[in-house]
Amino acid sequence: MPYTTIAQLSQGLKNGTFSSRELTQDVIADIKARDHLYNSFITLSEEQALAQADVADQRIAAGEAAPMTGVPIAHKDLFCTQGVRTTAASKILENFVPPYNSTVSQLFVDAGAVSVGKTNLDEFAMGSSNEHSFFGTVKNPWKLDAVPGGSSGGSAAAVAAGLITGATGTDTGGSIRQPAAFCNLTGIKPTYGRVSRFGIIAYASSLDQAGPMTRTAEDAAMMMNVMAQFDPQDSTSMQMATPDYTTSLNDSLAGLKIGLPKEFFEAGLNPQVAAATMNAIKQYEAMGAELVDISLPNLQLCIPAYYVIAPSEASSNLSRYDGARYGYRCQDPVDLMDMYCRTRAEGFGEEVKNRIMVGTYALSEGFYDAYYLKAQRIRRLIKNDFVKAFQQVDVIMGPVTPSPAFDIGSKTSDPVAMYLEDIYTLAINLAGIPALSTPAGFVDGLPVGLHIMGDYFSEAKLLNVAHQLQQATDWHMQTPNSI
């Protein structure tokens, strides 16, 4: 059933228009028939999905269904799923089958959702294009020789192609919002600590945050209602009540103050993307919002700060993959050191090895103060810029990316150009604030995303603001020609 929404499927299941088993069978058949075009899935969990669908049908028949009960979803292949392999798109975890669920995975099980499989990504979430996967490049449904964005490109492509109505992603420096922009989706990165990280394979622990990727803000709100729960197993999880994110979607935007950072509209931004972004922002003026010019003076420092902090944390997190306990192990090691070295050399891809080396260097004796400590001080300056800005405005808006989706292979030889794709998204993770991407038009037939940023724990407001734009426009309803 391509291009229905989670809300529509939920209503159809409630009304008895179709059963969860029928829906799940249809979704799995569609993935088998069409995903060769996109390579968006790594693993299909057909048997488990049908069993979950049968349980969901029983709950619906008993009148015990929640809004997500019986709805098929997919998980980015960083979320541990009990009995279903979880690879992080890496050779080193190619055959790893977790004995437990991540908290997010379990919350969706408890809500009665049906997990049909695991989606492709940049290896260990390190990338902005989904070209760095052991299981091959993911293709953008809007243009099959273009990237879908990364690292949650598999989730983005699967939803954009209508293979699934909603999928989880993770965002360390823009990895939900950038692929959402490239694929015409709604993707939200919640406040750091709003969604549990327990059981999600770590890249950079102080930056990683999970969130939903859907067609509409309403669907994203429905998934957030499931995901955003306090978790005592995660020491960074915030102990606070979860609001119903769907109840405020239709709140008026009259009097809303929208901050426009001058740094988001300077050199480097594609003029057509700038025009599309401003056209979307002007829609809010018609709804009674006020535009306010602001400045984020330390924005230009976010790329060097991020590419010290994130690789440093990755260097630490990925030290556990040594061939001794689980995952890939090299053949016939001579001794323990040979096993460590060859296992990691053979098991990790080039981008992962590059980032481990950068991080190890930054944390080494004699360089910690010069690089890592200084980057953390810059991070505080960036956070302070946002704190100051939100004393003046309710939300901040700008482009998600400097350009629309670029062609596969066009930036793999220039890592700096690839890193600059995240210029507008990295600061949000460094500050820990929430942000989302919502469809904002097209440039040469490719989607453009509007970046909406909010103060801490303002996810409900961001979803409300995105939903109101979607009520006034039809960009989010447009579909790619490849389906």
Check whether residue 226 and residue 94 sit in a common domain: yes
What's residue 1's pLDDT?
A: 59
Judgement on whether residues 95 and 238 belong to the same structural domain of the protein: yes
DSSP string, 228-296: ----TT-TT----PPP-TTTTTT---TT-EEEEEGGGGSTTS-HHHHHHHHHHHHHHHHTT-EEEEE--
77 falls within a domain: yes
Residue 409 has pLDDT above 80, yes or no: yes
Last residue of one domain, picked from the residues 377, 402, 435: 377
- Report the alpha-carbon distance of residue 475 to residue 304 in Å, rounded: 34
Same domain? For 224 and 126 the reply is yes
Which DSSP letter does residue 348 get? S
* Domain range enclosing 166: 6-253
Say yes or no to pLDDT of 408 above 80.
yes
Final residue of a domain: which of 377, 398, 430? 377
Residues 207 and 352 in one domain: no
- Is 288 within a domain? no
| pLDDT tens per residue across span 296-308 | 999 999 999 999 9
Q: Is residue 119 within 8 Å of 72, Cβ to Cβ? A: no
* Catalytic positions: 76, 151, 175
Q: Please state, in angstroms and rounded to a whole number, the distance separating the CA atoms of residues 57 and 397.
A: 42
| Domain contains 483 | no
Q: Which backbone phi and psi does 149 adopt, to 5 degrees?
A: 90, 170
In this predicted structure, what is the pLDDT of residue 3?
Answer: 79
Tally of domains in the chain = 2
What CATH code is carried by the domain that includes residue 216? 3.90.1300.10
Residue 260 β-bridge partners: 293
| Distance in angstroms (rounded) separating the CA atoms of residues 473 and 440 | 9
- pLDDT for 61 beyond 90: yes
Which tokens in the block code for residue 445? 């037939």
Mean pLDDT of the chain: 96
pTM of the model: 0.97
Judge if 343 and 226 occupy the same domain. no
Give dist(CA 358, CA 375) in Å, integer: 13
Q: What is the pLDDT of residues 21-45, one digit of tens each?
A: 999 999 999 999 999 999 999 999 9
Given a contact cutoff of 8 angstroms between Cβ atoms, the answer to whether 260 and 397 are in contact is yes
Instruction: Flag whether 350 is in a domain.
Output: yes
256-287 tens-digit pLDDT: 999 999 999 988 899 999 999 999 999 999 99
Backbone torsions φ then ψ of 407, nearest 5 degrees = -70, 145
Count the neighbouring beta carbons within 10 Å of the beta carbon of residue 50. 17
465 belongs to a structural domain: no
Q: How many CB atoms lie within 10 A of CB 60?
A: 19
CA-closest candidate to residue 376, choices 358, 391, 390, 363: 363
Q: How far apart are the first and last CA of the chain?
A: 12
